[in-house]
Structure 1
Amino acid sequence: MEHIVQEQFLPISRAEAWEFFSHPLNLDKITPDELGFSTASCPDGAIYPGAIIIHRLQLAPFLAIPWVTEIKAVDEGFSFVDEQRFGPYRFWHHRHSFEETEGGVLIRDEVHWKAPFEPFSAPVKALFVKPRTLAIFEHRKQVLTDYFSE
């Protein structure tokens, strides 16, 4: 099982951060273009426990797959958890949390994940899946910094 923890300070209120992150369509804005990521189906408005969100990923030319996630828990304004039901990972559990701090908000992402076909996929995971997963979070961090500093 892999574990990622990323924290980022943004100079906005916790309420503003929640408003942005609790709307699934905003994920399209912060995901690298080369993934061909788009949200195909999501609830109108903010997330809620039990909400099913369907994204599409373009893994290669002519190879698009759905990524279906379920919102498992919501602590309104403070945190939410999404889990993969079907998609590119064998397991995906992602907790988003928002902590008000002096001058802004600390956003924390904690992800537990497992690549498909493990242990047979270990070389692919090491060379491709893990670096790409980490790069997605780094890209997201830069986009959020730019977006909220305008």
Structure 2
Amino acid sequence: MAAIHRLERTQNIPIDLEQAWNFFSRPGNLEKITPAYMRFRITSPPVARMYAGEVITYFIRPLLGIPLAWMTEITHVQEGRYFVDEQKKGPYALWHHQHHFEAVPGGIKMTDIVHYQLPLGFLGTLAGKLFVNRQLEDIFAYRREAIEQLFGSMN
């Protein structure tokens, strides 16, 4: 069985919980914090408010510009505190992404916790070592910078 990886990132942002929730709980804003080379595009219709059971479909181009369909489901939502998306169809054998928001002095603390597993056994493990794990690190580093550009920094 292939390893289950964990990626955790925390960022303090000088906005209030309502502002954070309004931005991060809207899938349409993902494009603003995703590297342009991935050509991220949502294909499902927008909804007014995130809800448990919501299915979101995308196309991304993570490698060599090859389009890849991805489908996630919002499995848990506690308004203003956290939500969880899980891959239903896509590049991973497992993708479970928790988004947590907590008020702190001067803003909010946002924590992303991702558990993921690559498919294809040994080939997936090799791909992870060669580029997938590094690409995820780079995507979250880009996201940190994009969020600072949008909202500023508390550091």
TM-score by length of 1: 0.95
* Alignment gaps of 5+ in structure 2: none
* Secondary structure of 1:80 counterpart: strand
Matched, 1:66 2:78: no
User: What does 1:34-113 align with in structure 2 at a 5 Å threshold?
Assistant: 34-58=37-61, 59-61=63-65, 63-113=66-116
SS of residue paired to 1:8:
strand
Over aligned residue pairs, what C-alpha RMSD do you find?
1.3
Q: Following TM superposition, by how much is the alpha carbon of 1:76 offset from its aligned partner in structure 2, in angstroms?
A: 0.5
Residue 28 (structure 1) aligns with: 31
Give the letter aligned to residue 56 of structure 1: F
Identity of aligned residues (%): 38
Aligned-partner Cα distance in 2 for 1:119–1:46 = 40
In structure 1, runs of 5+ residues without a counterpart are: none
Partners of 2:82 and 2:8 lie apart in 1 by: 15
Determine the C-alpha separation between the residues in 1 that align with 2:144 and 2:90: 23
1:141 maps to which residue? 144
Question: Where in structure 1 do 4 or more consecutive aligned residues deviate above 4 Å?
Answer: none
Matches within 5 A, 1:121-136: 121-136=124-139
Higher strand share: 1
Superposition TM-score, scaled by structure 2 size: 0.92
Matched residues, number: 149
